[in-house]
Amino acid sequence: MLENLYSLMASKGVPGPVVDKLNTLLVDQFEEMLDQSERPPLVFSPALHGFNVGQPHRMRNLRRALQHCLQPKYRERLWITSGGAIADYRMTLAPGIVPGGPES
């Protein structure tokens, strides 16, 4: 979602400062999903394309947004992992736990 917004705004010639404000969306999305993840768990997976957010003048704001999301006050509620580790964990669950899984 964020990647698509960055791409759209960049292709329309929107100035960098306006595009950088999209990092606010990253923080807002993270905090809202964290609140909603009390039940059921959610996956926060921001799609960031280097063509858009990897520009030196945009890195500082992106770094601030990510540092906000990784603050110690949130850490005990996060599982920072990879897709492979999620798949491995899923395979350890009892049949029927994952809706739509082969055992359901």
The phi and psi torsions of 73 (rounded to 5 degrees) equal: -65, -20
Asked if residue 98 belongs to a domain, the reply is no
Tell me, what's the pLDDT at 57? Answer: 76
Asked if residue 84 belongs to a domain, the reply is no
Asked if residue 74 belongs to a domain, the reply is yes
Do residues 2 and 22 make contact, with C-beta atoms less than 8 angstroms apart?
yes
- pLDDT band, very low/low/confident/very high, at 41 (cuts 50, 70, 90): confident
> Who wins on pLDDT, 67 or 47?
67
Asked if residue 53 belongs to a domain, the reply is yes
pLDDT in tens, 56-93: 877 888 888 999 999 999 999 999 999 899 889 988 98
Domain span holding position 40: 2-79
Find, among 47, 45, 67, the residue nearest to 6 by Cα. 47
Contacts of 10 by beta carbon, 8 Å cutoff, 6+ apart: 19, 51, 52
Asked if residue 93 belongs to a domain, the reply is no
Torsion, CA 86, CA 43, CA 19, CA 52, rounded to 10: 20
Asked if residue 91 belongs to a domain, the reply is no
- Say how far residue 62 (Cα) sits from the centre of its chain: 12
Find, among 55, 2, 7, 43, the residue nearest to 24 by Cα. 2
Asked if residue 96 belongs to a domain, the reply is no
Tell me, what's the pLDDT at 35? Answer: 95
Do residues 6 and 19 make contact, with C-beta atoms less than 8 angstroms apart?
yes
- pLDDT band, very low/low/confident/very high, at 95 (cuts 50, 70, 90): confident
Tell me, what's the pLDDT at 32? Answer: 95
Asked if residue 99 belongs to a domain, the reply is no
Is residue 104's pLDDT more than 90? no
Total count of domains within the chain: 1
